[in-house]
Structure 1
Amino acid sequence: MASKRGLKRRQKARQCEGKVKHPTLEGAKIAKRKSGHRDVMPYRCKWCGFYHNGHMPRRVLKAMEV
């Protein structure tokens, strides 16, 4: 059986793997504007503490359409 500590480390690696890390919220917002994607939003990662840009949940997108 795997230890909880090892499991958390693997989860952290998977959550942040391949994502661009922005040290500030403003930096993530600038990157979002440059990308041209409307359906992404910056968020603070609970694993690494940096900011990433990610797709909004469908329920949020549907609420914005109404």
Structure 2
Amino acid sequence: MKNNMTSKQIILWTILIIILQIFLSLIFSKLFKTNWSFKNTFCNISSLVFWIVYIIVNIIIWKMTKR
């Protein structure tokens, strides 16, 4: 039961963060008057670093809840 809850929480957080990232990229594209696209949102280096760290943290959490 506890493992199930944590995996659901991780999925919810992931969805929330994706929405937040799209929203922020839309705001920044309006501010700096650049063309906005999904490719720009998910291919820039800061977002790439963020997703790598996020995935590693989730794997660690998942491993800890498995024990």
Structure with the higher fraction of residues in helix conformation: 2
Structure number with greater CO (CA < 8 Å, separation at least 6) is 2
Structure with the higher fraction of residues in strand conformation: 1
Fold similarity call, TM over 0.5: no
Q: Taking structure 1 as the reference length, what is the TM-score of the superposition?
A: 0.31
